[in-house]
Structure 1
């Protein structure tokens, strides 16, 4: 029997989508219905007023018979409601402290918010130029040169997108052909596989394993084939907190040059590099011409809801990215782009203070998790920490996270959803420390008090 989960839209009422088999098997979600008891769809009053009175008097049985399950293209059938939405929803229901989804519970800097307000007042409220407000493109190029030493053309090599997630999608859809091979490093951010599926790519993954999540170079070397179009990597790395070392990046670069392979790098956590220097792969010899570097404003400036991202690439790759971007979103929020330009020109002291603040938050969480009894793996960057939950005796990561939310009152993310083979991540869960220190301490205290081995 197919099972469906409700998903409510404010304009169209209840819709239905297949639930994740993994989460369903563990009773992780909290409300399921079957096709036999689907409710009658609800409509806004403006639409309902135009409907026939005959239709409005039909009984529930008739309405149920005429309602059809939502349909989805085969390339997206396996992708359900994101784990972040599911965990956050469950956390709200049970009053859990949310150390799962990676959004800060504090606001971005006042000088950036004021710049957005001023831009709105100045009338920056219509469509922006498709590939970016000129001043933001310039600011991105300036920041990239300061960080990497590379000169890029803001008009020809910088494309502003609706968050890094859209930069990822535009890159995949604009540069990957059906059947092309793309290599990921698992665990990986969930949008990677989904957008590659939309592009029709053949996805292969190389698993990074604890405790140091080092790149298995020989496995990577043997995985690259004549069909490999690109390697997608994320450094600093979500969810593990790993940073790819210069030696690893040099080896990846050599393999890509040798085999004529592109590289797509997601560097949204570049300003949250704690224990070693962040290195952009595009800055290595011979790599700019084959690299798309993706980044965003949200993580660095605690403005995740603005969805301002960008892709930097040479013109021959930028063309494909822009073609896809034009038909995905066309343009990103105008006023927020003007404010983003102000943000990227922040003084160096802002970034120094940001790193200092996050180092303090990391220390609170890591020390607390160690004291609770987790096996904690090093986090050199991002605002995430991965731990081994097995000392607490649960079957897998999903079962543990369900217990943690319902019985302890703290939310974390099960990492098995970040692997092609979920079994590889069943012992690990991810916590975030992008919360104020009071919240982090409260979460640690709940775990010390209620979490039992």
Structure 2
């Protein structure tokens, strides 16, 4: 088959460096602090609910929009935790993970040649997601440790002509938690220049400092915002691929049409299990955040001691570091760490503008058992930094 027979979208979509890092774990027998893949079990009540749903034969197609009771529960969650009133019949769509949610959001808004603003460092998926719709990425590079934005920094890019801004809060890979003031800057510019926001909130409950603010709650943004969220991170079921979108009825109708012919529906029995998860009390969320904070505080000092200049995350479960002490290039540094310390991290190239030639960031995931993190710390401490 000729390479010229392939579509541009397939040629412009590169293999995931995150998944690649997990693969070379096997080569070196390394501890996987690369992929956001917890090595501890999901809540027993959640698994039991899934088993019950399968046993009760909820194994056929669900409503393509999502199980009605689950959409009602998601709407109740938005009112309870975000102070936002949404219509479960017209605004909530259950889909196959936040990944599909992001894709159907982009497919509903972006035509080939439309410009989409991404804040760097960004989640790896955003570039290939744009490739599938022919969108053009515009980058704004944020600086550690605060990763702050300003109107002066952003307005020239809005003036160029944008269709969409993608926001991730709390953010992967930096742990940035967007403040209400920062979201207000984005909201004001979006309303002035007729731009939409897709807000990726998959780490909403994994928060250590500050507050989680949903863009949908900002005045004037109810018709311009698509919220993408899911169950995988909060409930430790990354393999279930269960997510949802929330938007105004017009945007929701567009996403539902695409979702229907893309995946038809999210896994039916798992939707019943997700309904059970949404009935967990507040204590569950508080304990989960406390557990992740403990894990963060276990790994962070070790990375400091290695001279990696880690940035303390305010949310999510990753730590961003500067690996220049290990090697001049992030790929070389990640490879060295995996080979010498038997610990895998993700090279920062996949989180940055592809045109950048000098990237020295590494991302470490701490969604691991304490014993896993302790073993990784012990192994990294054996590396001779020269």
Q: TM-score range by the shorter chain?
A: over 0.9
| Deviation digits for residues 166-222 of structure 1 (CA, Å, limit 9, x no counterpart) | 000111112212222211111211221212221122221111122221124322111
SS in 2 for 1:346: coil
Equivalent residue for 1:411, pick from 330, 339, 344: 344
Is 2:107 the partner of 1:168? no
| Deviation digits for residues 127-178 of structure 1 (CA, Å, limit 9, x no counterpart) | 1110101111111111111111111111110000100000001111122122
Structure-2 residue corresponding to 1:103: 37
Matches of 1:327 and 1:204 in 2, distance apart? 29
Structure-2 residue corresponding to 1:314: 248
Matches of 1:92 and 1:141 in 2, distance apart? 42
- What TM-score, normalized by structure 1, do the two folds share? 0.83
| 8 Å CA contact retained: 1:175, 1:321 | no
Matches of 1:210 and 1:261 in 2, distance apart? 27
SS in 1 for 2:191: helix
Q: Tell me by how many angstroms 1:73 deviates.
A: 1.1
Matches of 1:451 and 1:238 in 2, distance apart? 29
| 8 Å CA contact retained: 1:416, 1:422 | no
Structure-1 residue corresponding to 2:280: 346
Structure-2 residue corresponding to 1:330: 264
Long gaps (5+) in structure 1: 1-66
Q: Structure 1's 206 and 111: CA in aligned 2 closer, same or farther, altered over 3 A?
A: same
Structure-2 residue corresponding to 1:376: 310
Correspondence list, 1:416-427, <5 A: 416-421=349-354, 423=356, 426-427=359-360
Is 2:164 the partner of 1:205? no
- What TM-score, normalized by structure 2, do the two folds share? 0.97
RMSD of aligned Cα (Å): 1.5
Matches of 2:243 and 2:357 in 1, distance apart? 31
SS in 2 for 1:306: coil
| 8 Å CA contact retained: 2:14, 2:128 | no
Equivalent residue for 2:183, pick from 239, 244, 249: 249
Equivalent residue for 2:369, pick from 436, 440, 450: 436
Correspondence list, 1:14-413, <5 A: 72-225=6-159, 227-392=161-326, 394-413=327-346
Matches of 1:311 and 1:370 in 2, distance apart? 38
| 8 Å CA contact retained: 1:143, 1:345 | no
How many residues in Structure 1 have an aligned counterpart in Structure 2? Answer: 386
| Deviation digits for residues 248-292 of structure 1 (CA, Å, limit 9, x no counterpart) | 111111111111211100000000111111111111111122100
Q: Tell me by how many angstroms 1:227 deviates.
A: 3.2
Indicate the structure whose relative CO is greater, using CA pairs within 8 Å and at least 6 residues apart: 2
Matches of 2:99 and 2:350 in 1, distance apart? 17
Q: Tell me by how many angstroms 1:226 deviates.
A: 6.3
Q: Structure 1's 198 and 352: CA in aligned 2 closer, same or farther, altered over 3 A?
A: same
